[in-house]
């Protein structure tokens, strides 16, 4: 929290208005819904009424005299402990709440003001109970700007958004600022695009602003294609109006009267909330033919994607909106000059637009107070993989990798989910275009320039933590498989080159590689980078090159010793039982799905390698580490 005390925008809990209104906020992000938060919500409204307390689920300006307000919210952050429930004004956060817990919460906390200890967050290592967002290190070490109201606000309630200052920025943009001033303010903020490229937003807007009108377009890139990243999803689920408002401001800044939101169809809840937000903003007269009485019109339409990663690329997205196959075209001309239907168009990421809303509301100087000189402000990341606290986070640019993984993330976990010292292997950042970071980078500040320097990139913001049991070659293969499937097929080197790289990686993983494989792989990687038109092909070799840079020995073990150091590569592994260590407990016999293990009780067991399917269940089950890799 230290870094943020002077900011008006603080963590989710600190952003809550100081009203004494009693409120139960049930998280209804995708993760919590998957764990039954809808039933928890229903249980609360019933249990509170049953306890004789008045319940309201609607928003009222004047407060709700003594009643308990039960609402839903977007992601409250600690997704690994879903479903989550926040209680105000006490600022208590309960985890893994089931409908059966609700009666107790109503009786104890709402009724008697006591905390239900067993539902509190416990720190992964010290096992210390934390009362709420202000005590939980995972939350209080973050700096929330775009996530400030996510997790508190009722995302389906426009009135509440307005009560927190919503649409003030858009009103200001349409009634009190000129397009020049808007572009200048965004340029002054130093905001860089959050969609991966990091291009200065102010410059992009200015390029489109000076184009002749009258027809121009703005597009919100909500296609979030990086597999394993869900920040944009959470922002749209938790605070959809902040994105619409940013899009309106962008439209005003370049003089556009039509806006599109191109949204990934695999996010049904985000689609639903964005659609409702657009309808509500139209009904309130914010979007339409006379925005805030300025006489200007802005209409907004939602376009659902149809499952093609390449459509995240600007020119492909434009083709897709025009009803074509989403294939990129060469730039220039840039979309700012000639985009949708040949008209000047700007495309901005969801998070970029949510930041725009805050910059226009609070001013560029406030925005610049955190972050670095070349990368001001905060960035959201989705922290996943082998880490104690998985979830959505937001930190200033320049925060170190170690702070994110160990202090916020709570440390790296083994396969059973226990935090274990020294099991940190790597972090994959930037998805299929990005690279990996290792324990040598624990003190590396996360920003555009330092990451580029070590062969990785910020990308969209997916951070996947991997433990020592993860085979790095198969991770590189995972990304190559993804990009070769998603290649649009226009460029030969992208279409065929990525396929051949995949074949080479499979050769390595399945024991067919020799001394010619790595040199060929590296040569091909450079060719694919050089011979591809768009970012997909240009960056497709990155995961391979970056893992080769830091884990070459692991590749070589597969190629020359025909061994996978982690034992995860089925073609190369042969499991045997170490007779010295085996106690004959028969645990492995019970879990083997193909009955490949035999032996008498209390005597050493044997694995029949002809039957073994190398699933590794016995390895995970043995308490004595007696199942080992054979020669």
Partner 1 sequence: MELTQSRPPAAASGPDKFDSVCAILERYSYQPAKLIPILQAVQNEYRYLPEGVMTYVATALKVPPARVFGVATFYTYFALEPKGKHVLRLCDGTACHVKQSIPILEALRRHLGLDEKNKTTPDMLFTLDTVACLGACGLAPVLMVDDVVHSRMTPAAAVKLVDKIRTREQSAN
- Residues that contact ligand SF4, how many (by CB under 6 A): 14
Torsion angle of alpha carbons 107, 110, 114, 120, nearest 10°? Answer: 100
Listed residue (410, 405, 395, 447) closest to 426, CA to CA: 405
Listed residue (244, 220, 235) closest to 167, CA to CA: 244
Candidate list 80, 221, 348, 542; residue touching partner 1; CB under 8 A: 80
The residues pairing with 379 across neighbouring beta strands, listed in sequence order, are 395
Query: Rounded to the nearest whole angstrom, what is the least distance from the CB of residue 25 to ligand FES in the complex?
Result: 23
Query: Rounded to the nearest whole angstrom, what is the least distance from the CB of residue 486 to ligand FMN in the complex?
Result: 8
What residues numbered 197-236 form the site for ligand FES, per CB under 6 A? 227-228, 230
Query: Rounded to the nearest whole angstrom, what is the least distance from the CB of residue 524 to partner 1 in the complex?
Result: 23
Residue 97 or 191: the one with the smaller Cβ distance to ligand FMN is 191
Q: Which does 490 bind (CB under 5 to 8 A by kind): ligand SF4, ligand FMN, partner 1, none?
A: ligand SF4
Tokens of 241: 């109006």
Q: Residues in the site for ligand FMN, rule: CB under 6 A?
A: 193-197, 199, 201, 221, 223-225, 309-310, 312-314, 347-349, 352, 460, 534-536
The piece of 39-47, 272-280, 485-493, 602-610 that touches ligand SF4 (CB under 6 A) is 485-493
CA distance 136 to 312: 35
Contact 227, 428 (CB under 8 A): no
CA distance 194 to 262: 16
CA distance 347 to 339: 9
Contact 559, 515 (CB under 8 A): yes
Q: Which does 221 bind (CB under 5 to 8 A by kind): ligand FMN, partner 1, ligand FES, none?
A: ligand FMN
DSSP symbols for 71-103: EEES--S-GGG-S-EEEETTTEEE-S--HHHHH
Residue 194 or 386: the one with the smaller Cβ distance to ligand FMN is 194
The piece of 181-189, 322-330, 348-356, 368-376 that touches partner 1 (CB under 8 A) is 322-330
Query: Rounded to the nearest whole angstrom, what is the least distance from the CB of residue 487 to ligand SF4 in the complex?
Result: 4
In the block, residue with structure tokens 């033919």: 289
Query: Rounded to the nearest whole angstrom, what is the least distance from the CB of residue 456 to ligand SF4 in the complex?
Result: 20
DSSP three-state, residue 400: strand
Candidate list 34, 50, 373, 561; residue touching partner 1; CB under 8 A: 34
Q: For the window 516-535, what string marks contact with partner 1 as x by the rule CB under 8 A?
A: --------------------
Contact 575, 564 (CB under 8 A): no
Q: Which does 513 bind (CB under 5 to 8 A by kind): partner 1, ligand FMN, ligand FES, none?
A: none
Q: Which letter does DSSP use for residue 67 in this model?
A: P
Torsion angle of alpha carbons 546, 552, 558, 563, nearest 10°? Answer: -120
CA distance between the termini of the chain? 52
- Phi, psi (5° rounding) for residue 33? -60, -40
| Residues making contact with partner 1 (CB under 8 A) | 30-31, 33-35, 79-80, 82, 224-230, 233-234, 265-271, 303-309, 320, 322-326, 382, 384-386, 390-392, 415, 428, 431, 462, 464, 466, 470, 475, 478-479, 482, 488, 615
| Residues making contact with ligand SF4 (CB under 6 A) | 310, 328, 487-491, 494-495, 532-534, 536-537
| Residues making contact with ligand FES (CB under 6 A) | 227-228, 230
């Amino acid at each position: 929290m230290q870094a943020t005390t002077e900011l008006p925008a603080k963590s989710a809990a600190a952003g809550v208005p100081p009203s004494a209104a009693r409120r139960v906020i049930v998280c209804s992000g995708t993760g919590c819904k998957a764990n039954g938060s809808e039933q928890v919500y229903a249980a609360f409204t019933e249990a509170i009424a049953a306890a004789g307390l008045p319940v309201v689920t609607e928003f009222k300006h004047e407060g709700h005299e003594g009643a308990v307000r039960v609402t839903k919210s977007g992601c409250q952050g600690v997704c690994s402990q879903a479903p989550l429930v926040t209680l105000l004004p006490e600022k208590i956060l309960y985890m893994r709440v089931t409908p059966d817990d609700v009666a107790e919460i109503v009786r104890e906390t709402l009724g008697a003001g006591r905390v239900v200890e067993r539902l509190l967050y416990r720190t992964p290592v010290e096992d210390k109970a934390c009362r709420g967002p202000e005590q939980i290190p995972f939350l209080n070490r973050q700096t929330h700007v775009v996530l400030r109201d996510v997790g508190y606000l009722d995302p389906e309630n426009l009135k509440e958004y307005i009560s927190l200052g919503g649409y003030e920025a858009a009103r200001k943009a349409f009634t009190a600022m000129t397009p020049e001033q808007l572009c200048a303010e965004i340029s002054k903020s130093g905001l860089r695009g959050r969609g991966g490229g990091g291009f200065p937003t102010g410059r992009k807007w200015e390029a489109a602003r000076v184009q002749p009108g009258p027809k121009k377009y703005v597009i919100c890139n909500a296609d979030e294609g990086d597999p394993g990243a869900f920040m944009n999803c959470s922002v749209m689920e938790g605070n959809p109006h902040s994105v619409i408002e940013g899009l309106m401001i962008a439209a005003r800044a370049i003089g556009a009267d039509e806006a599109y939101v191109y949204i990934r169809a695999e996010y049904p809840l985000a689609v639903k909330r964005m659609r409702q937000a657009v309808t509500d903003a139209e009904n309130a007269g914010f979007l339409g033919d006379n925005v805030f009485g300025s006489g200007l019109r802005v209409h907004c339409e939602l376009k659902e994607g149809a499952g093609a990663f390449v459509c995240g690329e600007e020119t492909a997205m434009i083709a897709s909106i025009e009803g074509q196959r989403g294939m990129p075209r060469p730039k220039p001309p840039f979309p700012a000059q000639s985009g949708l239907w040949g008209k000047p168009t700007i495309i901005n990421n969801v998070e970029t637009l949510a930041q725009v809303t805050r910059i226009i509301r609070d001013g560029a100087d406030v925005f610049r107070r955190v972050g670095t000189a070349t990368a001001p402000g905060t960035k959201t990341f989705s922290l996943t993989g082998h880490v104690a606290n998985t979830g959505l986070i937001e930190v200033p640019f320049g925060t170190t990798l170690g702070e994110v993984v160990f202090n916020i993330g709570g440390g790296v976990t083994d396969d059973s989910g226990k935090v274990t010292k020294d099991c940190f292997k790597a972090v994959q950042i930037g998805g299929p275009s990005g690279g990996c970071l290792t324990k040598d980078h624990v003190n590396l500040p996360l920003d555009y320039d330092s990451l580029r320097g070590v062969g990785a990139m910020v990308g969209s913001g997916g951070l996947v933590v991997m433990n020592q049991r993860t085979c790095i070659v198969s991770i590189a293969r995972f990304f190559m498989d993804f990009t070769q499937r998603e290649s649009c097929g226009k460029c030969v080197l992208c279409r065929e080159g990525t396929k051949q790289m995949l074949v080479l990686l499979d050769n390595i993983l399945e024991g067919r590689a020799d001394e010619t494989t790595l040199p060929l792989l590296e040569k091909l990687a450079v060719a694919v980078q050089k011979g591809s038109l768009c970012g997909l092909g240009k960056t497709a070799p990155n995961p391979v090159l970056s893992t080769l840079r830091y884990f070459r020995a692991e590749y070589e073990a597969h190629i020359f010793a025909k061994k996978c150091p982690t034992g995860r590569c089925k073609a190369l592994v042969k499991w045997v039982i170490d007779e010295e260590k085996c106690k004959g407990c028969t645990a492995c016999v019970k879990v083997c799905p193909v009955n490949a293990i035999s032996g008498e009780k209390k005597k050493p067991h044997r694995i029949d390698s002809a039957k073994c399917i190398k699933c590794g269940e016995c390895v995970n089950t043995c308490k004595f580490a007696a199942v080992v890799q054979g020669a």
